[in-house]
C-alpha cells in the first residue's frame, strides 16, 4: 500500500468515525428547582452542542418564570396582587398577562372550579407559604372571602393595562403555571431543533417525540400508600398532569386539610384523592386536573366535557377508580389487588 492510499483509507475511516459520532443519539439530563419542585429535563438528541444550548435555554426560562410568577415572594405577580385592591387601572407585567387571559378562558370552561382569583383563600389557609400550617383558619374568615366571589372575570385587560372590579381578587397560578411554563419551554426547545424531549416536574410532565425505540413510560402515584397505582406509555406530543390531596396537606383533629380549595365552599375539596389528565398541552391538562379534583366523583364528567379533555382518571376517597374509555385504553393498573374500576363516557 502506498503512503497515499494509506492516507486515503485513513481519511475514509475518519470520515466514517465522524459521521457515526454525529449520529450517536444520547440522553442529556438536567434538574432545575422551579415552581417549588424539581423539574427534570431529558433531551434525546444526536448533537451535544444543540442539547447543551437547549439546556441553557431551559434554565434561563425556568429562572425567569420563578422570578416573575411567584405568588408570595416579590415578583411581577406579587406586584399585581398589591395593586389590584386599589380598583384603579395599572400597567401589568407582560409576563403575567397571557397567564391571566388563558386562565380566564379555562376558568369559564371549568364553571369556576379552576379559579386562580382565590389567592386570598389560599393565603388564609396558609398554603401560600414554604411551611405548612397546622390548624384550619376561622370559619367566619373563610365565609367572608367566599361571599366576595373573587373570579377571573372580575379582571379587565386592555392592552398592557389591568384593572379589577373586585378588590377581593388575588391571583395564584399554582394550579396552572407549571403546565403553562412547561409548554413555553417545550416550544422554545422545539424551535432550537430538539425533537425528543421530556420535561417532568415531580410526575407532572409533557413529552414530545420518542425515547429511542421505547416510548416514555410514566408512573402515576398511588394516592394512598407507597409506589405507583398505574402506568402510561407516552409517545408523540402529550402531557400527563395529576392533582392529589397528598401533595400539600396537614392533619387536624383527624381530618386531612389539603391545598386544593373548592371556591364554592372555601374549604379543601372533598370526595377525591387524585385526578390524572392526559392531554396534548400542559396548561390545559394542569388546569383540568385541578378543576376535576374540585368537581369530584359526581361532577367530573360534566366539567371534563366542558374543558375539552377526554382522558381522565379520578380516584375517589373510597379508593374507587373512575375513568373515561379513552383513558382506559391508555392506562395499565399496577397494584394488586386491582381496585374497583368504573369506566364511563363523558356526559
Torsion angle defined by CA atoms of residues 243, 108, 278 and 119, in that order, rounded to the nearest 10 degrees: -30
Binding mask 287-306 for Mg ion (x = CB under 5 A): --xx----------------
Stretch that binds Mg ion, among 21-29, 53-61, 168-176, 319-327 (CB under 5 A): 168-176
Chain-centre distance of CA 94, in angstroms? 21
d(CA 73, CA 148): 25
Contacts with 174 (C-beta within 8 Å, 6 or more apart), sequence order: 71, 116, 122, 127, 259
Taking the complex as a whole, the smallest distance from the CB of residue 113 to ligand AMP amounts, in Å, to 6
Taking the complex as a whole, the smallest distance from the CB of residue 101 to ligand AMP amounts, in Å, to 16
Helix (H, G, I), strand (E, B) or coil at 157: strand
Alpha helices by DSSP H, listed for the chain, are 3-22, 48-68, 76-83, 97-109, 119-125, 139-147, 177-191, 282-307, 325-328
One residue of 175, 182, 277, 307 binding Mg ion per CB under 5 A: 175
Taking the complex as a whole, the smallest distance from the CB of residue 281 to Mg ion amounts, in Å, to 13
CB closest to Mg ion, residue no: 290
| Nearest residue (CB) to Mg ion, 110 versus 164 | 110
Q: Which does 301 bind (CB under 5 to 8 A by kind): Mg ion, ligand AMP, none?
A: none
d(CA 65, CA 47): 27
Q: Which does 122 bind (CB under 5 to 8 A by kind): Mg ion, ligand AMP, none?
A: ligand AMP
Taking the complex as a whole, the smallest distance from the CB of residue 177 to ligand AMP amounts, in Å, to 9
d(CA 69, CA 87): 21
Q: Can you tell me which residue has the cell 394550579?
A: 175
CB closest to ligand AMP, residue no: 174
d(CA 103, CA 116): 7
Instruction: Give the residues lining the site for ligand AMP (CB under 6 A).
Output: 113-116, 118, 122, 127, 172, 174-175, 243, 247-248, 259-261, 263, 286, 289-290, 294
Is residue 286 close enough to count as binding Mg ion by CB under 5 A?
A: yes
Contact positions vs Mg ion (CB under 5 A): 175, 286, 289-290
Amino acid at each position: 500500500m502506498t503512503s497515499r492510499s494509506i492516507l486515503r483509507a485513513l481519511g475514509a475511516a475518519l470520515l466514517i468515525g465522524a459521521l457515526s459520532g454525529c449520529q450517536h443519539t444520547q440522553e442529556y439530563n438536567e434538574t432545575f428547582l422551579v415552581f417549588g419542585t424539581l423539574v427534570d429535563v431529558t433531551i434525546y438528541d444526536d448533537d451535544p452542542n444543540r442539547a447543551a444550548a437547549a439546556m441553557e435555554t431551559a434554565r434561563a426560562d425556568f429562572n425567569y418564570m420563578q422570578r416573575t410568577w411567584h405568588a408570595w415572594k416579590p415578583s411581577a405577580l406579587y406586584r399585581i396582587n398589591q395593586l389590584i385592591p386599589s380598583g384603579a387601572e395599572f400597567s401589568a407585567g407582560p409576563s403575567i398577562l397571557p397567564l391571566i387571559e388563558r386562565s380566564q378562558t379555562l376558568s369559564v370552561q371549568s364553571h369556576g372550579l379552576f379559579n386562580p382569583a382565590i389567592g386570598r383563600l389560599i393565603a388564609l389557609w396558609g398554603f401560600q407559604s414554604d411551611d405548612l400550617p397546622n390548624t384550619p383558619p376561622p370559619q367566619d374568615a373563610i365565609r367572608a372571602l367566599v361571599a366576595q366571589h373573587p373570579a377571573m372575570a372580575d379582571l379587565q385587560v386592555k392592552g398592557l393595562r389591568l384593572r379589577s372590579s373586585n378588590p377581593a381578587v388575588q391571583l395564584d397560578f399554582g394550579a396552572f403555571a407549571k403546565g403553562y411554563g412547561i409548554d413555553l419551554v417545550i416550544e422554545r426547545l422545539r424551535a432550537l431543533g430538539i425533537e425528543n424531549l421530556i420535561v417532568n416536574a415531580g410526575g407532572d410532565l409533557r413529552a414530545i417525540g420518542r425515547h429511542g425505540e421505547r416510548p416514555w413510560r410514566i408512573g402515576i402515584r398511588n394516592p394512598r400508600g407507597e409506589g405507583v397505582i398505574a402506568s402510561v406509555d407516552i409517545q408523540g406530543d402529550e402531557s400527563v398532569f395529576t392533582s392529589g390531596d397528598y401533595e400539600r396537606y396537614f392533619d387536624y383533629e383527624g381530618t386531612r386539610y389539603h391545598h386544593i380549595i373548592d371556591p364554592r365552599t372555601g374549604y379543601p375539596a372533598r370526595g377525591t384523592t387524585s385526578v390524572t389528565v392526559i392531554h396534548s398541552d400542559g396548561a390545559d391538562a394542569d388546569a383540568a386536573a385541578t378543576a376535576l379534583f374540585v368537581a369530584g366523583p359526581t361532577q367530573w364528567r360534566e366539567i371534563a366535557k366542558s374543558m375539552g379533555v377526554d382522558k381522565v382518571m379520578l380516584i375517589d376517597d373510597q379508593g374507587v377508580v373512575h375513568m373515561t374509555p379513552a383513558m382506559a385504553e391508555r392506562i395499565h393498573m399496577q397494584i394488586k389487588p386491582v381496585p374497583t374500576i368504573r369506566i364511563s363516557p363523558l356526559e
